[in-house]
Amino acid sequence: MFENYFGLIEALLVFGLAIAFFLWQRHDLKKARQKTRAREEELKANREQADD
């Protein structure tokens, strides 16, 4: 009886892994975007100081 549900269990696990990977990548991209913005703001501040 239990062997009838192996396909469903496997599908749920694969779907769960896909969602986990998506969330992990979204978090990683958000962190990289924040680092890039901070670096750009720092460069902009340095340029403004150099212009003065």
Q: For the segment 20-52, what is each residue's pLDDT rounded down to a tens digit? A: 999 999 999 999 999 999 999 999 988 888 876
DSSP string, the chain: -GGGGHHHHHHHHHHHHHHHHHHHHHHHHHHHHHHHHHHHHHHHHHHHHHH-
Evaluate if residue 2 carries a pLDDT over 90. no
Which pTM was predicted? Answer: 0.68
Q: What is the pLDDT of residue 52?
A: 65
Distance CA 36, CA 44 (A): 12
Query: What's the rounded mean pLDDT across residues 1-12?
Result: 88
